[in-house]
Amino acid sequence: MRYGRFVLALLCAGAPQVTSAAQTPQASLLVLAKSEQSLFIVDPATLAVLGQVPAGPDPHEVIASADGRIAYISNYGGGSGSTITVVDLVEQKALPIIDLGALRGPHGLAFVGGKLWFTAEGAKVIGRYDPTTRTIDWVMGTGQDRAHMIYVFPAMDRIVTSNVSSGTMTVIDAGMDQRGGPVPGGPSPSRPSSAQGAPSGAWRPVDRTNWTETVIRVGHGSEGFDVSPDGKEIWAANAEDGTISVIDVASKTVTQTLDANVRGANRLKFTLDGKRVFVSSLRGPDLAVFDARTRKEVKRVRIGQGAAGILMPPDGLRAFVACTPDDYVAVIDVQTLEVTGKITAGKQPDGLAWALRK
């Protein structure tokens, strides 16, 4: 009984109560509080706040490493920031930052294939950071304004970004391009002319990755988006139009535009079974829920004055929604579509992530 009262007190308090010296659980919910510039570590079982770590200036998005031990936080800086804050989730402390240099305005994050992928709005690029070598080992320009969010397919052969000010989505595909190159481990002579002929075994074609970009026009203010669990569709919420663009991944074309009435849309997420789509908005009190098959609205869930980040944890039973203006995270039952709890974890919660320690 006493334990139940303790948890209830945490849910109802006006400010987060951090459990003193609490260990980070194997599975944890990460909540990024923008105005407090802090990352809060939450026990998803009890909804109790277990720790608080500095998140750097103007933090917007957070992602955890595959082993659940490290968190990465984009320091957006209004589009002019140039750092990514690194947090040790086990020790609950900040580590040395990642300095992006001229790649300003980091925002969207993904951790795939042991590497950190990010957008950099100010530089109009996406990039990749290798935690092992501690270097940025790949950068590609998009030519689009405000490349905001990013999704990397598990095979790392396709990348998707939403470009807010351009009103577009970009699909970037990897292919192989055969070009001449020095033999690995061999001598590196100058490339011979056709008249000279190549020294035996010194030069031969080498396969290299060739990235192809397809820019897809959607609606105005395209920001929140998600890829369906089967990888066949991309749904993009257009904040200024209040519409949702449905894109066929194979053909890279918009197959349908839904008059969804989701003006101010901030994030969009599929449920893990692919049956429903959740859309948050910073301009209204409701979370919009759509049926992915019929494309029809299922329900409007009243959650507060507005919302941003949406997270679907691995069990697929709940959804966590960051109600930024209300200073709490709403817990939604995915089946009943009812609010079942609220987490107070800092001022202006936005980015959410799941960390599963291995």
State the pLDDT at residue 62. Answer: 98
Cα separations in angstroms, 256 against 4, 275, 289: 48, 17, 17
Cα separations in angstroms, 237 against 78, 160, 224, 265: 21, 14, 6, 6
> What CA–CA distance (Å, rounded) separates 162 from 165?
9
- % helix, strand, coil for the chain, step of 5: 5, 50, 40
Return the biggest CA–CA distance within the chain: 89
Asked if residue 121 lies in contact with residue 146, where contact means CB atoms within 8 angstroms, the answer is yes
State the pLDDT at residue 176. Answer: 73
Which amino acid would we find at residue 351? G
State the pLDDT at residue 2. Answer: 37
> What CA–CA distance (Å, rounded) separates 140 from 129?
13
Asked if residue 164 lies in contact with residue 223, where contact means CB atoms within 8 angstroms, the answer is yes
pLDDT by 10s per residue, the chain, length 358: 333 333 333 333 444 555 445 899 999 999 999 999 999 999 999 999 999 999 999 999 999 999 999 999 999 999 999 999 999 999 999 999 999 999 999 999 999 999 999 999 999 999 999 999 999 999 999 999 999 999 999 999 999 999 999 999 999 999 876 554 444 444 444 444 444 444 444 545 555 789 999 999 999 999 999 999 999 999 999 999 999 999 999 999 999 999 999 999 999 999 999 999 999 999 999 999 999 999 999 999 999 999 999 999 999 999 999 999 999 999 999 999 999 999 999 999 999 999 999 9
> What CA–CA distance (Å, rounded) separates 249 from 225?
13
> What CA–CA distance (Å, rounded) separates 169 from 97?
30
State the pLDDT at residue 234. Answer: 98
Q: Which letter does DSSP use for residue 55 in this model?
A: -
Terminal Cα distance for the chain, rounded: 32
State the pLDDT at residue 339. Answer: 98
- pTM of the prediction? 0.87
